[in-house]
Amino acid sequence: SSIPKIVILGAGYGGILTAQRLQKELNYNEADVTLVNRHDYHYITTHLHMPAAGTDSIENTRVSISKLIDEFKIDLVKSSVQEIRLHDKKVILEDGTLSYDYLIIALGGEPETFGIPGLAEHAMSIRSINSVRLIRSHIEHQFALYKNERRPQERINFVVGGAGFSGIEFVAELADRIPKLCKEYDVDPALVNIYNVEAAPSALPGFAPELVDYAMELLTRKGVTFKLGTAIQECTPHGVVLSTGEELRSNTVVWTGGIRGNRLIEAAGLETMRGRVKVDEYLRAPGHDHIYIIGDNSLVLNGERPYPPTAQMAIQQGICCAQNIVATIRGKVLRKFQYQHKGTVASLGKGQGIGVVGSKQYQGWKAAQLKKLVDLRYLFMIGGIPLVLRKGRFL
Ligand code: FAD
């Protein structure tokens, strides 16, 4: 048929928003829309640090995609993308092939290991429902083994690499969870160590020094040992070796030190910087007017420096790229993407957080409430009141 085919790869923040907006704006038979995702659920990545530490359930972190889109209007394909073939406009799935006229790549990023030996093999990362299930059960297993073996210290030493946003949020949850695990497994909490290792001289880039100090003091009180200005030089099955020469013995290393673009993009032959594509002002891949790249795989400059990859960015890009595809189909003028920063809030465990909204800074309980509000707003945005009622009351 002559109806244009739109294929969206990935149903994370960017992909879901694109699909929902296309569904809303397109008229009947104006285009065929297909949404491809590896799982039949959408997960709320910004919440993953909680089920990873075991302070919240998996079910509060994911939503079935069929509840978010109208399957009469959008074809949902549950499959894993294997290859993007630009020359013949095809996407190869594990179990089939799709052809497209317009492609939206919203596959999310991958951990960046900066070539640190052993990290890819021995560290875990917070990136999906399956990966956080593994982290949670691995941690519990360490406590169980500790009591059944000759009390090996590496079973109750925990290392988190990276003191950026997700590293700090995870380490805070872990610090909340450890006392409970100690009780459950009869382990003296004084014996447990939580290390946060960061190569940069300070934690939480982007936050004002007062807020960073607040976070560090709070987490130190909760039992976190910070090693800032210290790089992980190597990760082994027994722990990490630091740039200072010190070795931290641990069976649990969680790496949050960086994000790079999805490998499929580089493999497709698109020009990338750390796996991400510097998109044009309409969010298209340079030289490919029918390919949009959004979320963690796109690079948008804020003056000289790229904006950090965030959910907020992916959401706004999803809406803009859907509008631009509809405009293209209708022969209308495209809209330039303009990022609007609404603020940043980081949680620091139960009832605690730091945040910046506009020129106002928040810390403590207020910031924690703000975080809940941001999460509720997102649930409302993608699923309306029913989703807020189903998932929101647990936040
Ligand atoms: P994602 O949301 O990662 O979605 C990608 C989707 O593609 C997934 O559904 C995945 O299953 C699917 N997929 C991947 N590969 C394939 C394949 N080969 N085939 C089929 N499907 C595939 N940002 C904020 O703005 N605020 C925060 O508070 C915040 N907190 C965070 C806390 C943590 C612990 C983490 C890890 C991140 C946080 N972020 C936060 C960053 C934010 O989560 C990401 O920037 C955002 O998820 C990027 O959205 P995306 O659409 O690019 O990709």
- Could you give the maximum distance between any two Cα atoms of the chain, in Å? 71
Question: 104 and 128 share a domain?
Answer: no
| Per-residue model confidence (pLDDT) at position 333 | 97
| Per-residue model confidence (pLDDT) at position 394 | 56
Question: 223 and 139 share a domain?
Answer: yes
| Per-residue model confidence (pLDDT) at position 11 | 98
| Per-residue model confidence (pLDDT) at position 389 | 86
User: Is 296's C-beta closer than 6 angstroms to any atom of ligand 1?
Assistant: yes
How does pLDDT run across 237-258, given as a tens digit for each residue?
999 999 999 999 999 999 999 9
**43 has pLDDT over 70:** yes
CATH of the domain at 125: 3.50.50.60
Confidence of residue 391 (pLDDT cuts 50, 70, 90): confident
Domain-terminating residue out of 229, 255, 281 = 255
User: Is 164's C-beta closer than 6 angstroms to any atom of ligand 1?
Assistant: no
Name the residue at shortest CA distance from atom 3 of ligand 1: 108
**395 has pLDDT over 90:** no
User: Is 198's C-beta closer than 6 angstroms to any atom of ligand 1?
Assistant: no
User: Is 49's C-beta closer than 6 angstroms to any atom of ligand 1?
Assistant: yes
Cα distances (angstroms) measured from residue 143 to each of 147, 169, 251: 7, 22, 11
CATH of the domain at 296: 3.50.50.100
Task: Work out the average pLDDT over 257-276.
Answer: 95
Strand partners, 232: 242
| Per-residue model confidence (pLDDT) at position 166 | 95
Task: Work out the average pLDDT over 133-160.
Answer: 97
Question: 183 and 87 share a domain?
Answer: no
Q: How many domains does the chain have?
A: 2
Percentage of the chain with pLDDT > 90? 95
Q: List, in sequence order, the alpha helices (H) in 276-394.
A: 311-329, 365-391
Domain span at 318: 5-109+261-341
169, 234, 266, 281: the active-site residue: 169
Asked if residue 186 belongs to a domain, the reply is yes
**290 has pLDDT over 90:** yes
User: Is 39's C-beta closer than 6 angstroms to any atom of ligand 1?
Assistant: yes
> Is the Cβ–Cβ distance between 199 and 161 less than 8 Å?
no
Name the residue at shortest CA distance from atom 29 of ligand 1: 46
DSSP letters along 87-143, please?
Answer: TTTEEEETTEEEE-SEEEE----EE--TT-TTHHHH-B---SHHHHHHHHHHHHHHH
| Per-residue model confidence (pLDDT) at position 2 | 85
Using the atom order of ligand 1, give the atom closest to the CA of residue 79. Answer: 20
Q: Which residue has 């957080």 as its token pair?
A: 353
Percentage of the chain with pLDDT > 70? 99
- CA–centroid distance, residue 339 to ligand 1 (Å): 18
- CA–centroid distance, residue 3 to ligand 1 (Å): 31
User: Is 80's C-beta closer than 6 angstroms to any atom of ligand 1?
Assistant: yes
Residues contacting residue 52 through CB under 8 Å, at least 6 positions apart: 126, 131, 132, 135, 136, 170, 173, 254
Using the atom order of ligand 1, give the atom closest to the CA of residue 371. Answer: 28
Domain-terminating residue out of 207, 234, 255 = 255
Task: Work out the average pLDDT over 326-351.
Answer: 96
- Length of the chain equals 395
Question: 246 and 276 share a domain?
Answer: no
Question: 96 and 140 share a domain?
Answer: no
Question: 247 and 126 share a domain?
Answer: yes
Name the residue at shortest CA distance from atom 37 of ligand 1: 46
Residues contacting residue 290 through CB under 8 Å, at least 6 positions apart: 89, 100, 101, 102, 103, 284, 328
Task: Work out the average pLDDT over 150-174.
Answer: 97
Q: Does the annotation count 30 as an active-site position?
A: no
Using the atom order of ligand 1, give the atom closest to the CA of residue 45. Answer: 43
Extract the tokens encoding 82.
């294997």
User: Is 370's C-beta closer than 6 angstroms to any atom of ligand 1?
Assistant: no
| Per-residue model confidence (pLDDT) at position 390 | 85
**9 has pLDDT over 90:** yes
Using the atom order of ligand 1, give the atom closest to the CA of residue 10. Answer: 7
Name the residue at shortest CA distance from atom 46 of ligand 1: 311
Choose between 124 and 390: higher pLDDT: 124
Using the atom order of ligand 1, give the atom closest to the CA of residue 313. Answer: 25
| pTM strictly above 0.90 | yes
Task: Work out the average pLDDT over 4-33.
Answer: 97
> Does residue 203 sit in helix, strand or coil?
coil
How does pLDDT run across 195-207, given as a tens digit for each residue?
999 999 999 998 9
**80 has pLDDT over 90:** yes
**220 has pLDDT over 60:** yes
| Per-residue model confidence (pLDDT) at position 393 | 61
ipTM of the complex: 0.97
Domain-terminating residue out of 296, 311, 341 = 341
> Does residue 281 sit in helix, strand or coil?
coil
Q: Which of 131, 310, 345 to mutate to test the pocket of ligand 1 (most atoms within 8 A of CB)?
A: 310
> Does residue 155 sit in helix, strand or coil?
helix
Cα 246 from Cα 232, distance rounded (Å)? 10
Question: 215 and 237 share a domain?
Answer: yes
Cα 199 from Cα 170, distance rounded (Å)? 17
Task: Work out the average pLDDT over 215-228.
Answer: 98
Is residue 184 exposed (0-12), middle (13-18) or buried (19+ Cβ within 10 Å)? exposed
- CA–centroid distance, residue 111 to ligand 1 (Å): 11
Question: 241 and 133 share a domain?
Answer: yes
| Per-residue model confidence (pLDDT) at position 1 | 58
Cα 50 from Cα 368, distance rounded (Å)? 14
